[in-house]
Amino acid sequence: MPSMSAGELFLPSTPGKFKDKSHRHFHRCSSSTSTFFLWALFLLALTAAYLTFQPSATNYFTTAPHWETHLRSSAHIHRPNGFSVLVTGAAGFVGSHVSLALKKRGDGVVGLDNFNHYYDPALKSARKHLLSSHHIFIVDGDINNAKLLAKLFDIAKFTHVMHLAAQAGVRYAMENPHSYIHSNIAGLVTLLEASKSANPQPSVVWASSSSVYGLNEKAPFSESDRTDKPASLYAATKKAGEEITHTYNHIYGLSITGLRFFTVYGPWGRPDMAYFSFTRNILQGKPITVYRGKNHADLARDFTYIDDVVKGCIGSLDTAKKSTGSGGKKRGPAQFRIFNLGNTSPVTVPMMVGILEKHLKIKAKKNVLDMPGNGDVPFTHANISYAHNEFGYNPTTDLQTGLKKFVKWYLSYYGYNHAKSGN
Ligand SMILES: O=C(O)[C@H]1O[C@H](OP(=O)(O)OP(=O)(O)OC[C@H]2O[C@@H](n3ccc(=O)[nH]c3=O)[C@H](O)[C@@H]2O)[C@H](O)[C@@H](O)[C@H]1O
């Protein structure tokens, strides 16, 4: 099943382009005595302006006639009381795994992804092909495109939204701060606007992050702990997302569940993450940089295996109550939840490297550096009792086992010829 490109099919929406053209035309023709010609030009310009400012989903559909058919078929539910889920970020790491799990149990799934170049887009395309072979259709579009979202909701009547599209990565926020605002704030609001206006309103489950705990020192981290000291702009945008979703819950009756993911890893993972780039470098005989904290303390993460996180996502969807509004009007209080989805057993970064060395049977060349002040936190550690009580969340994969599966996938995907394993 192909994906369609909203970017390709939408008309450009840059106001400046239209103004420049019409201005040039006007001057070229002003010397003409033909009033008729001027009027014709004026009408032409008006039409062009209308189309330019209407990058509508209608164009999308008329240009790609099978688009709607693919979408309907992908959204179709194949089990009693099943869901129809819009998964944003479906070509991403967590999004692709969740989409497959939902489809396998008979839910309808439609993906949305902008296939950006934050990391190797070939990996995203490969995930897309995998989903396509399971009859999951991914729309190539951005969560900031309100018209596209309205059209998707109009066609598919989603019962749930699994919102996983985001600008991820803690340290990259120093390089490209606006990307975080664009995706994690503006994109989130556009998606919530579309969700609250939909009739029926879907229940929304979305990805927050363990990074919201920031410089919190109380361990393990519980959902009720303070989250007002973010250490990175990434964390700040995720924290803002938690506040923003609360307002949509309060004003419009949207059922909202936020999931604080703890350093999720596994097959088909993100090449920007440490376990992934370390594997690549170790195999290529290149050095890796291992950061350490204050007083030379090792950094530690509550690394959480992808299959456990997928179970947490599905448990959240299964226990999400219905939104109480319709068409943007609230009819009563709605559910609002935030869960930690961690592993409850932090592992230090040097220990993680040791596990990789064992599975790869290669010794790493390590450069140990003091942690730069670029957004990292010294450790994370999840208390998961809330998710356990609500839907039996029970992570079962330790880092040894999970990294073994990751390495197996890595070698099968990239082989020992690592040419295509660029970030
Ligand atoms: O739980 C989250 O909410 C976040 O998890 C993830 O962030 P992190 O926990 O920072 O994972 P990751 O980058 O793999 O670094 C792991 C460790 O290796 C250390 N690290 C990193 C790079 C390096 O070159 N050297 C190094 O020592 C580094 O100092 C750290 O101690 C997601 O990327 C993020 O999108 C978000 O989802």
Q: Which is the closest atom of ligand 1 to the Cα of 273?
A: 14
Give the distance (Å) from ligand 1 centre to CA of residue 160: 30
106: left (phi over 0), alpha (psi -120 to 50) or beta: left
Residue 56 has pLDDT above 50, yes or no: no
pLDDT, tens digit (0-9, with 9 covering 90-100), for 217-255: 899 999 999 999 999 999 999 999 999 999 999 999 999
Give the distance (Å) from ligand 1 centre to CA of residue 262: 10
Q: Going by CATH, does the domain composed of 166-420 fall within 3.30.70.3460?
A: no
Q: Which is the closest atom of ligand 1 to the Cα of 290?
A: 27
Judged by DSSP in three states, 287 sits in: strand
Amino acid identity of 246? Answer: H
Query: Whole-model pTM?
Result: 0.88
Count CB neighbours of 367 within 10 A.
10
Averaged over 27-37, what is the pLDDT?
43
Give the distance (Å) from ligand 1 centre to CA of residue 45: 51
Q: Is residue 168 a contact partner of residue 33, using CB atoms and an 8 Å limit?
A: no
Q: Is the peptide bond before 220 cis (omega within 30 degrees of 0)?
A: yes
What's the ipTM? 0.98
Count CB neighbours of 371 within 10 A.
17
String of DSSP letters for 329-374? B--S---EEEEEE--S--EEHHHHHHHHHHHHT---EEEEEEPPSS
Residue 100 has pLDDT above 70, yes or no: yes
| Residues carrying an active site annotation | 234
- Per mean pLDDT, which range of 276-280, 310-314, 372-376 is the poorest? 372-376
CA 73 from centre of chain: 23
Residues lining ligand 1, CB < 6 A? Answer: 168-170, 209-211, 261-263, 273-274, 289-291, 299, 301, 349, 376
Mean pLDDT across the chain, nearest whole number? 88
Residue 212 vs residues 110, 234, 291, 300, 407: alpha-carbon distances, Å: 29, 9, 20, 16, 29
